[in-house]
Amino acid sequence: MTMLEGRSVVVTGAGGGLGREIALDCARKGASLILADIDEARCAETADALKAEGFSSESHTLDLGDPAAIEHFGDAISASRNTLHGLVNNGAIATGIGGIGFRDVDIETFDKVMRVNVRGTWLITRALAPLLAASGSGRIVNLASDTALWGAPNLISYTASKGAVMAMTRSLARELGPDRVGVTAVAPGILTTASTEYVPEERHRLYETGRAVPGPQGPDEIVGTISFLLSPDALTLTGQTLPVNNGFVFN
């Protein structure tokens, strides 16, 4: 029996590089995938990638910055099933917001990042929590970032949002624990994805030379950890944030 066999998992931000790799790894380990992304075309590409490997999936267009859209998504998922086993809160604004000192970040950008990365994570969790509880072994994995652990400069809106995600993880673990829903977070560093191509070479070198395991790190190196955290065996880790960064930051 594979790790996630018989388990249904929602992945937000499934159209992106990391989201796609998470979905593929979960499917390879037996999960049934529900994909969600603001970019309908990219979400369809992930569905096609799954199909190419013989896996079926369900796709939804979802704007995490829109509470009504999240509510509609939750209603749609609830209408099609009685339980849900996993939620990966991967969708977030991560590009085009770095390289700016905290004095120069405009308020609208800061607020938009918070709406999507923090409020969106809370609302999608709230919408799907009843289904996760009904499964008796629900698991939520929040994508945080090690930038909030070591204090990356010139990235204030993103680091603040990911620090909030880690804090929510701890609180949600206590609130959902009585329903045997486990809530964890992973905190990657810079990964070799299209979303990090804009990051200055100096920052890439900082990670590549500062890791306990030197060199670049691809999405394929962290998705196995995420799949495990979605499994029944991961409940003992609830509330924890795991820095999955090859030893750049120790928590």
Residue 230 predicted with pLDDT over 80? yes
pTM of the model: 0.95
Q: Look at the chain and report how many structural domains it folds into.
A: 1
User: Rounded to whole angstroms, how far apart are CA atoms 28 and 212?
Assistant: 29
Is 250 inside any structural domain? no
Is 251 inside any structural domain? no
Strand blocks (E) in the chain: 8-12, 32-37, 57-61, 86-89, 139-143, 182-186, 241-242
Domain containing residue 38: CATH number: 3.40.50.720
User: Rounded to whole angstroms, how far apart are CA atoms 121 and 116?
Assistant: 7
Q: Annotated catalytic residue: which of 20, 139, 144, 158?
A: 158
Its domain, for residue 36, covers: 8-242
> Which position has the token pair 């930051």?
249
Is 90 inside any structural domain? yes
Residue 1 predicted with pLDDT over 60? no
158 is catalytic: yes
pLDDT at 251: 77
| Token digits of residue 155 | 């990235």
Is 228 inside any structural domain? yes
Strand-pair category, 57-61 with 32-37: parallel
Give the DSSP per-residue string, 19-31. Answer: HHHHHHHHHHTTP
Is 113 inside any structural domain? yes
Is 139 inside any structural domain? yes
Is 137 inside any structural domain? yes
Is 103 inside any structural domain? yes
Per the document, the length of the chain is 251
Least Cα distance to 94 among 205, 12, 4 occurs for: 12
Write out pLDDT tens, residues 136-195: 999 999 999 999 999 999 999 999 999 999 999 999 999 999 999 999 999 998 887 766
